Amino acid sequence: MPAEGVHRPAWLEVDLSAVRHNAGALAAIAGPARLCAVVKADAYGHSTVPVARAAMEGGASELAVALVDEGVELRDGGIGAPVLVLSEPACDAMDDALALGLVPTLYTRDGLEAARRAARGLGAGDSRPPLPVEVKVDTGMHRVGASPDDAVELVAELAAAPELDYQGLWTHFAVADEVSSDFTGEQVSRFEAVRARLKAAGLPEPRRVHAANSAGAIAWPSSRYDLVRCGIALYGYPPGPEVVPVLAEELARVGAAPLRPVLSWKAKVTLVKEYPAGERLSYGRLAPLSERCLVATVPLGYADGVSRGYFAGGGAVLVGGRRCPLAGQVTMDQLLVACPLTSGGRAGDEAVLIGSQGGEQITAEEWASRLGTVSYEIVTRIGLRVPRRFLDGTPPAEVAP
C-alpha cells in the first residue's frame, strides 16, 4: 500500500507531535524511572517507525516489540535505539535477534540455550562483550513467563553463561487498570518475593527491574521501578476508565497537558443519495430509515477494521460536523451513513470515523464501548490497506474525492 494512498479517499492521520507530547508526559510521570515506548503491532496500528522515532524524540529511552520481525522493521527503518522483545523469540529467530542488537526476553530453558548458542556464534563473551537478555517472571498474569521456581533455575544458568549479560528481570500486570483491585499490589509482592529468593540464592542482581504497563506507570507508583513500558497511553488513550482520574492527577502533578489521541480516521464521502423513511439499506435490510434522509457512502468497511458490530452497536460517523448514524449493515469496503436532509451533504465531504469535526468527537473508547471491547483492539484492527498520513503540527494535504 503506498503511504500516500493516492487512489483511496480514506486514510489515518497520525499526529507525531501528539506522540512526542504523550511520551514527554509519561516520562515525567514515571521519572526517575525511564520510559520504554511499546511499538508492537505496528505501533498499535499507528505505524512502527515514525511513531518509534517520535516517541524517542519525546522522551522515551527505548522501545519494545512483541516479535523479532517487528524489531527487524525498526532496524531496517534506521532506528538504533535499544529494543526489548517482550516475548521469548523462537529458537531459530534468536540469531537474527541478537545479531541486530535486539534484547530478547527469556523464560524457558530452551530459549536460554538458543540465546547462548546464538551469542556464542556471534563471538559474544570471547571477541566481543556478552549480549544483553532479560528474564520474565510470571507473577499472576499466567500468559508467558517463568514461574518463580523456574526463574531461580533460569537466572542461575544465565548468571553462569559468559556469553550473555543478565540485563533485566521483569513481570507484567493483569489488572493494573483496575485501580480498586488488590491484585496489582499482590503481583508486586510476588515479584519482590522472587527478587528476594534470587538474592538469597546468591545470584547476581539484574542491572534493572521493571513491571509497569501504562496503567501501572500511571496508577501504581510502587511498580515504576527502573523502567515503565507504555503502549496505550503513548497513543493518547487512558488504559481504562478507572485510570482516568488518577491520570489527571498525575498530569497535574508534573504540570503536563492532557494526553492527546494520536490517530484520526477519515475518508471522503464517495456518493450521496436521498431515500424516504422506511427504506431498508445494505445487506440483510436490517432496519428501516426513521426519516427521509441523505445517505452518504463512506469508502471504508469491515476489511479495513470497521466491525459489522458497529451498526448493531448504534455507531455513528461525523459528516458536516454532525453525528450521523450508520444507515445499514457495514459491508466489506463501504458503509452507509444517514445524514439529515438539511445537511446538504455531497460527495467529497469529509467523514470522520475517529476524531473531531466541528464541535463533535468520536473516540476509540466510544467505539470500544459500542463493540464491547477495549480501545487497544479498535486501533490495532484498522487495516493496513488504510493509508497512514503523518502530521507533525501541519495540516494534512487535501485528498481528492
Ligand X SMILES: Cc1ncc(COP(=O)(O)O)c(C=O)c1O
Q: Does 213 bind ligand X (CB under 6 A)?
A: yes
Residue 188 gets which letter from DSSP? Answer: H
Residue 344 CB: number of other CB atoms within 10 A?
A: 11
Q: Which grid coordinates belong to 13?
A: 492521520
Q: Give the amino acid at 9.
A: P
136 assigned to active site: no
Measured from the CB atom, the residue of 139 and 213 that comes closer to ligand X is: 213
Q: Does 239 bind ligand X (CB under 6 A)?
A: yes
Minimum CB separation of residue 205 from ligand X in Å reads 21
Q: Give the amino acid at 375.
A: S
Q: Does 374 bind ligand X (CB under 6 A)?
A: no
Length of the chain: 401
Angle between helices 48-58 and 16-30 (to 10 degrees): 50
Interface residue with ligand X among 106, 232, 294, 386 (CB under 6 A) is 232
Interface residue with ligand X among 38, 94, 227, 317 (CB under 6 A) is 38
Q: Which residue is nearest to ligand X (CB)?
A: 231
Q: Give the amino acid at 106.
A: L
Q: Does 172 bind ligand X (CB under 6 A)?
A: yes
Measured from the CB atom, the residue of 86 and 319 that comes closer to ligand X is: 86
Minimum CB separation of residue 230 from ligand X in Å reads 5
Measured from the CB atom, the residue of 10 and 212 that comes closer to ligand X is: 212
State how far the Cα of 182 lies from the Cα of 176, in Å rounded to an integer: 9
Minimum CB separation of residue 279 from ligand X in Å reads 43
76-105 core/surface letters (b: 16 or more CB in 10 A; e: else): eeebebebbbbbbbeeebbbbbbeeebbbb
> DSSP labels for 191-223?
HHHHHHHHHHTTPPPPSEEEEE-HHHHHH-GGG
Minimum CB separation of residue 171 from ligand X in Å reads 9
Query: x/- contact string, 318-357, with ligand X (CB under 6 A)?
Result: ----------------------------------------
Interface residue with ligand X among 68, 230, 324, 336 (CB under 6 A) is 230
First to last CA, the chain: 18
Contact positions vs ligand X (CB under 6 A): 38, 86, 172, 213-215, 229-233, 239
Supply the residues annotated as catalytic: 40, 283
